[in-house]
Amino acid sequence: MPRGSREACHTGCAAYPEGVSAPLVLGIETSCDETGVGLVRGYDLLVDAVASSVDEHARFGGIIPEIAARAHLEAMVPTIERALATAQVTLDEVDAIAVTAGPGLVGPLTTGAAAAKALALGLGKPLYGVNHVIGHAVVDELVDGPFPERVMALVVSGGHSSLLLVDDTVHVTELGSTLDDAAGEAFDKVGRLLGLPYPGGPHIDRLAREGDPAAIRFPRGLTAPKDQARHATDFSFSGLKTAVARWVESRRDAGEEIPLEDVAASFAAAVADVLTAKTIAACRREGVSTLVVGGGFSANSQLRDMAAERCAQAGIELRIPPIRYCTDNGAMIAALGSAVVRRGMPASPLDLPVDSTMPLTQVLV
Question: In this structure, are 249 and 128 located in the same domain?
Answer: no
Question: Is 156 known to sit in a ligand binding site?
Answer: yes
Q: Strand order of the sheet with strand 290-294?
A: 171-177, 161-167, 150-156, 290-294, 317-319
For residue 159, give the H/E element and its range: none
Q: In the prediction, which pLDDT does 11 show?
A: 41
- Is 0.85 topped by the overall pTM? yes
Q: What angle do CA 232, 325, 88 make, to 5 degrees?
A: 150
Q: In the prediction, which pLDDT does 138 show?
A: 98
Residue 12 has pLDDT above 70, yes or no: no
Judge if the upstream peptide bond of residue 197 is cis by omega within 30 degrees of 0: no
Question: Is 328 known to sit in a ligand binding site?
Answer: yes
What tens digit of pLDDT does each residue of 224-270 get? 999 988 999 999 999 999 999 999 999 999 999 999 999 999 999 99
In a domain, 46, yes or no: yes
Question: In this structure, are 309 and 180 located in the same domain?
Answer: yes
Question: In this structure, are 70 and 93 located in the same domain?
Answer: yes
* Span of 19-23, 94-98, 318-322, 350-354 with lowest mean pLDDT: 19-23
Domain of residue 49 covers 5-139+325-342
Q: In the prediction, which pLDDT does 8 show?
A: 59
Strand partners, 152: 165, 291
Q: How far apart (Å, rounded) are the C-alpha atoms in residues 59 and 54?
A: 10
For residue 256, give the H/E element and its range: none
Question: Is 112 known to sit in a ligand binding site?
Answer: no
In a domain, 349, yes or no: no
In a domain, 226, yes or no: yes
Q: In the prediction, which pLDDT does 150 show?
A: 98
* Span of 6-10, 30-34, 311-315 with lowest mean pLDDT: 6-10
In a domain, 357, yes or no: no
Question: Is 294 known to sit in a ligand binding site?
Answer: no
Question: In this structure, are 292 and 163 located in the same domain?
Answer: yes
Question: In this structure, are 250 and 235 located in the same domain?
Answer: yes
Question: Is 170 known to sit in a ligand binding site?
Answer: no
Question: Is 136 known to sit in a ligand binding site?
Answer: yes
b or e along 230-253 (b: 16 or more beta carbons within 10 Å of the residue's beta carbon)? Answer: ebbbbbbbebbbebbeebbeeeee
Nearest to 62 by CA among 164, 159, 165, 133: 159
Nearest to 138 by CA among 147, 129, 128, 130: 147
Query: Average pLDDT, whole number, for the chain?
Result: 93
Q: How confident is the model at residue 54 (pLDDT cuts 50, 70, 90)?
A: confident
Q: In the prediction, which pLDDT does 142 show?
A: 98
Question: In this structure, are 123 and 255 located in the same domain?
Answer: no
Q: What angle do CA 151, 153, 158 make, to 5 degrees?
A: 170
Strand partners, 173: 165
157 versus 303: which is more confidently predicted? 303
Question: Is 50 known to sit in a ligand binding site?
Answer: no
What tens digit of pLDDT does each residue of 201-226 get? 999 999 999 999 999 999 999 999 99
Contact 339, 141 (CB under 8 A): yes
Q: How far apart (Å, rounded) are the C-alpha atoms in residues 171 and 67?
A: 34
Q: In the prediction, which pLDDT does 57 show?
A: 65
In a domain, 309, yes or no: yes
Q: In the prediction, which pLDDT does 1 show?
A: 42
Residue 175 has pLDDT above 50, yes or no: yes
Average pLDDT for residues 355-362, to the nearest whole number? 96
Q: How far apart (Å, rounded) are the C-alpha atoms in residues 232 and 223?
A: 8
Q: How confident is the model at residue 6 (pLDDT cuts 50, 70, 90)?
A: low
Question: Is 155 known to sit in a ligand binding site?
Answer: yes
Q: In this structure, what CATH number is given to the domain that contains residue 272?
A: 3.30.420.40
Question: In this structure, are 316 and 337 located in the same domain?
Answer: no
In a domain, 354, yes or no: no
What's the number of domains the chain is made of? 2
What tens digit of pLDDT does each residue of 139-153 get? 999 999 999 999 999
Question: In this structure, are 184 and 128 located in the same domain?
Answer: no
What tens digit of pLDDT does each residue of 126-142 get? 999 999 999 999 999 99
Question: Is 200 known to sit in a ligand binding site?
Answer: no
Q: In the prediction, which pLDDT does 153 show?
A: 98
What tens digit of pLDDT does each residue of 72-100 get? 999 999 999 999 999 999 999 999 999 99
Q: How confident is the model at residue 361 (pLDDT cuts 50, 70, 90)?
A: very high
Q: In the prediction, which pLDDT does 52 show?
A: 84
Residue 328 has pLDDT above 60, yes or no: yes
Question: Is 201 known to sit in a ligand binding site?
Answer: yes
Q: How far is CA 149 from CA 262, 279, 361, in A?
A: 42, 18, 17
3-state secondary structure 46-108: EEEEEEECHHHHHCCCCCCHHHHHHHHHHHHHHHHHHHHHHHCCCHHHCCEEEEEEECCCHHH
